[in-house]
Amino acid sequence: GAVVSQHPSWVICKSGTSVKIECRSLDFQATTMFWYRQFPKQSLMLMATSNEGSKATYEQGVEKDKFLINHASLTLSTLTVTSAHPEDSSFYICSADRVHEQYFGPGTRLTVT
Amino acid sequence: DAKTTQPPSMDCAEGRAANLPCNHSTISGNEYVYWYRQIHSQGPQYIIHGLKNNETNEMASLIITEDRKSSTLILPHATLRDTAVYYCIVIDGGGADGLTFGKGTHLIIQP
């Protein structure tokens, strides 16, 4: 099956710093990728849709200036959490669309201290 | 997209078939039924999807009722590694939109 990777798998950062998370589709090209966030004991929540070569579309309540998304190529999307705060600590998961099936990355655990 | 209803949890003995139900009574004609699962602390994994016919792949079978208002995911011979949260999601036109995850069913396979 299709493979999506994320890097890093976990990261700890200090409050006020920025963190970049990469999402790569390893064996297929994806014009559309998605970013989700999952808090403990909750379901995944869609944050934004990332389209190659154009601006991302953010879900209601997600601050676009705080969660910067760049989809510069057909195999790479990045999510940058700017000025991170402890409440941004979460499990961030990306997915890539391939012929109407979404393939998910393994997730990135972000802890902000 | 249509809303789905799933039991919050289910147990199944190892080696037995696990049957996970999903209600989607407001599904419309061009909406597909997708199933994903999430093993603890991992990204979700695609399992299977269908429109109106029953489907089978190497992981599971999907049985959709004739009126399409409900479906059942069948894991034919459950193993301990099948313990996960299973999500039934209805998607318009099988298209490339972000997914709306409900609470899913936490399936626990008992040894």
Separation CA A9–CA A64 (nearest Å): 23
Q: How far is A14 from chain B (nearest CA, A)?
A: 23
Residue B80 phi, psi (nearest 5): -60, -30
Does residue B64 carry a pLDDT above 90?
Answer: yes
Separation CA B103–CA B71 (nearest Å): 17
* pLDDT-based confidence at residue B95 (cuts at 50, 70, 90): low
Q: What pLDDT, in 10s, does the model give residues B24-61?
A: 999 998 899 999 999 998 999 999 999 999 999 999 99
Separation CA A62–CA A59 (nearest Å): 6
Does residue B1 carry a pLDDT above 80?
Answer: no
Taking an 8 Å cut-off on Cβ atoms, the answer to whether A34 and B102 are in contact is: no
Minimal-distance CA residue of chain B relative to A1: B46
* Minimal Cβ distance to B43: which of A1, A45, A107: A107
Give me the tens of pLDDT residue by residue for chain A, a chain 113 residues long: 679 999 999 999 999 999 999 999 999 998 899 999 999 989 999 999 998 888 999 999 999 999 999 998 999 999 999 999 999 999 999 999 887 788 999 999 999 99
Does residue B94 carry a pLDDT above 60?
Answer: no
Using CB atoms within 10 A of its CB, is residue A37 exposed (0-12), middle (13-18) or buried (19+)?
buried
Q: How far is A100 from chain B (nearest CA, A)?
A: 5
* Minimal Cβ distance to B46: which of A93, A103, A109: A103
Separation CA A113–CA A22 (nearest Å): 21
Separation CA A45–CA A14 (nearest Å): 24
**Would you say B35 and B47 are in contact if contact means Cβ atoms under 8 Å apart?**
yes
Arithmetic mean of pLDDT, B85-92: 94
Residue A102, pLDDT score? 87
Percent of chain B with pLDDT over 90: 83
Separation CA A42–CA A38 (nearest Å): 6
Using CB atoms within 10 A of its CB, is residue B35 exposed (0-12), middle (13-18) or buried (19+)?
buried
Q: How far is B41 from chain A (nearest CA, A)?
A: 8
- Is the Cβ of B58 closer than 8 Å to some Cβ of chain A? no
